Structure 1
């Protein structure tokens, strides 16, 4: 059983998943820091402090902290937008790299010769 477990852990996809989770955790910390310390203060210049945490309502003995939920939703939307912009930028860079690797166009004479060759092959059959 220990041998099977070792084989399972040693598989590439399990290791890739583990690396992905670790990198994802680190990336989350970076994005959260970017939003908390750069983007939110920047937005605060225009909108003022965005804090709804004091917004609550009570029904009987139950307290509903709607403001904390709204803060979480706003932070999620900001983080999602930042990640969207980052992915969009990365994709743009990757597309530019692919454009640079595009093969050079064929010489028109070579294309005509290839067409003639292909036509002759069809006639031989």
Structure 2
């Protein structure tokens, strides 16, 4: 049990775990922000464009309700609220779009490291890897391109 607690402590206090916790908190706040964006800005615009369709009050009564208001229908019995599902789909699409744009911009900001110059080359005779500056292959002793004869 002592080993388990030690292992759990190491796991829980690693930097990755803290990063994950911070990411979850920021993600929750970001989700709330996007939900407000959709419910307060996007959905009213969509309703205006589609002829004032109120997605919140789109439902199918399952208990014989006659009201057209969602909150009243829920009080009277079960309803199939497909309007809320449409709102959730729009929330998801906007969230996915925002995350896509964010990741794309972060990738542009990320410094790309130049590819390191090669330190080895292949011997043209025996096909083994040798140092790039070699003028003779240490394996087959062949003279390589760039070999200068000593005078």
TM-score (norm 2): 0.50
Please tell me whether residue 122 in structure 1 is matched to residue 139 in structure 2. Answer: yes
Is this contact kept in 2: 1:55–1:65, CA < 8 A? yes
| Helix, strand or coil at the partner of 1:81 | helix
Task: Tell me how far apart the structure 2 counterparts of residues 71 and 78 of structure 1 sit (CA, whole Å).
Answer: 11
Is this contact kept in 2: 1:35–1:79, CA < 8 A? no
Alignment correspondent of 1:109:
none
Q: CA deviation at 1:37?
A: 6.2
| Helix, strand or coil at the partner of 2:57 | coil
Instruction: Tell me which of the two structures has the higher relative contact order, counting C-alpha pairs closer than 8 angstroms and 6 or more residues apart.
Output: 1
Q: Please provide the CA RMSD for this pair.
A: 4.0
Q: Deviations over 1:6-34 (max 9, x none)?
A: 83543334333322222322333454455
Alignment correspondent of 2:79:
63
Consecutive unaligned residues of structure 1, counting only runs of 5 or more, are 107-113
Aligned residue pairs total 113
Q: Deviations over 1:35-94 (max 9, x none)?
A: 5666x28x65x8366741121222334322211221121222122112212212222332
**Aligned residue runs from structure 1 range 1-125, under 5 A:** 4=5, 7-8=9-10, 9-32=12-35, 40=42, 44=46, 47=49, 51-61=54-64, 62-94=78-110, 97-98=111-112, 101-103=113-115, 115=132, 117=134, 119-124=136-141
TM-score (norm 1): 0.58
More helix by share: 1
Task: Tell me how far apart the structure 1 counterparts of residues 28 and 88 of structure 2 sit (CA, whole Å).
Answer: 18
**Distance change (3 Å), C-alpha of 1:116 and 1:21:** closer
